[in-house]
């Protein structure tokens, strides 16, 4: 029989037991849960206005706009994080377990996480009225390591960050002579023939010339383009005996 006198003892006992169980669970969590969370870097690309963007082009464009520092800074940060972890392991308890957990958390191959997002317009209906709302949809995700980024940076540096690598090595350089590029070059050269100095503000007789002809491996990039007048362009064309046409007309 339980007497009324025993009730406080039972309650105290149960509370004590409960606290003991909680402490035990916390201890187990502390032992088994890894305290190491690898620091990834996430980079989001908004591809709403691009129909079929290539991953490599997006990365190149990001490097052209931001340089290497967002990546190299993070690489250094990860190295620092590793040293802090190692120091924690050496000075802390459960060395062997912690070391295993640390090694399991390392993931340098996926240091940079790229996410391609597209903004979509969706509709919802309420009381027979249609409402439009925008939402972000993740199209794809992929990851790269630092050496991949560094290699692309070096390759882009070699071509003076003028365009993405796939654009630079595209077979059809003539296709890359877009209207935007033509007007960019015309403006840069102030509508002036770079050989004789003829000024053509109305664009009549203005040619955008490949300094090194496409046929000789020249690229459609600003550093290889210049404004010429018809006369100078004609003279230049004639100097190439293989008959390759070196300029694109601005008609
Ligand atoms: Zn000229």
List pLDDT tens digits, range 125-139.
Answer: 888 899 999 999 999
Distance 212 CA to ligand 1 centre (A): 17
Distance 234 CA to ligand 1 centre (A): 9
- Which fold does the domain 172-249 belong to in CATH? DNA Binding (I), subunit A (1.10.30)
Residue 250 near residue 207, CB atoms below 8 Å = yes
Taking CA atoms, 152 is separated from 10, 107, 114, 146, 178, in Å, by 70, 20, 15, 10, 25
pLDDT score, position 66: 96
User: What does the pLDDT average to over 67-72?
Assistant: 97
pLDDT score, position 247: 44
Distance 190 CA to ligand 1 centre (A): 13
Distance 163 CA to ligand 1 centre (A): 28
Distance 196 CA to ligand 1 centre (A): 4
Cα 68 to chain centroid, rounded:
11
Residue 42 φ/ψ, nearest 5 degrees: -105, 130
Average pLDDT, the chain: 90
Distance 226 CA to ligand 1 centre (A): 11
Distance 195 CA to ligand 1 centre (A): 5
Q: What are 118's strand-pairing partners?
A: 137
Distance 244 CA to ligand 1 centre (A): 19
Distance 231 CA to ligand 1 centre (A): 6
Q: What are 129's strand-pairing partners?
A: 126
Domain ranges of the chain: 34-152, 172-249
Pull the structure tokens for residue 175: 């296709």
pLDDT score, position 250: 39
Q: Is the pLDDT reported for residue 37 higher than 90?
A: yes
Distance 160 CA to ligand 1 centre (A): 28
pLDDT score, position 115: 96
Confidence tier at 240 by pLDDT (50, 70, 90): low
Q: Which helix (H) or strand (E) holds 124?
A: strand 112-126
Pull the structure tokens for residue 54: 């290539």
pLDDT score, position 239: 66
User: What does the pLDDT average to over 203-231?
Assistant: 92
In sign, the C-alpha dihedral spanning 58, 61, 65, 68 is: positive
Say what the pTM is. 0.74
Residues 6 or more apart whose CB falls under 8 angstroms from that of 214 comprise: 173, 174, 220, 244, 246
Q: Which of 65, 61, 63 is nearest to 53 (CA)?
A: 61
């Amino acid at each position: 029989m339980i007497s009324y006198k025993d009730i406080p003892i039972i309650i105290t006992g149960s509370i004590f037991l409960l606290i003991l169980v909680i402490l035990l669970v916390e201890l187990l969590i502390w032992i088994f849960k890894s305290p190491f969370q690898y620091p990834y870097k996430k980079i989001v690309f908004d591809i709403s206005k691009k129909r079929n963007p290539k991953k490599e082009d997006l990365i190149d464009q990001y490097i052209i706009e931001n340089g290497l520092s967002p990546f190299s800074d993070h690489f250094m940060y990860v190295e620092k994080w590793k040293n802090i972890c190692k120091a924690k392991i050496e000075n802390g308890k459960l060395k062997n377990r912690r070391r295993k957990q640390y090694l399991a958390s390392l993931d340098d191959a996926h240091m940079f996480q790229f996410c391609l997002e597209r903004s979509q317009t969706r509709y919802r209906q309420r009381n027979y009225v249609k409402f439009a709302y925008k939402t972000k949809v993740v199209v794809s995700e992929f990851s790269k390591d630092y050496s991949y980024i560094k290699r692309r940076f070096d390759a882009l540096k070699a071509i003076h960050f003028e365009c993405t690598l796939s654009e630079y090595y595209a077979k059809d350089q003539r296709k890359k002579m877009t209207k935007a590029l033509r007007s960019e070059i015309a403006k840069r050269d102030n509508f002036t023939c770079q050989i004789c100095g003829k000024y053509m503000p109305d664009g009549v007789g203005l040619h955008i010339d490949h300094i090194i002809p496409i046929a000789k491996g020249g690229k459609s990039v600003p550093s290889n383009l210049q404004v010429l007048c018809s006369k100078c362009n004609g003279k230049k064309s004639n100097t190439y005996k293989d008959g390759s046409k070196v300029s694109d007309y601005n008609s």
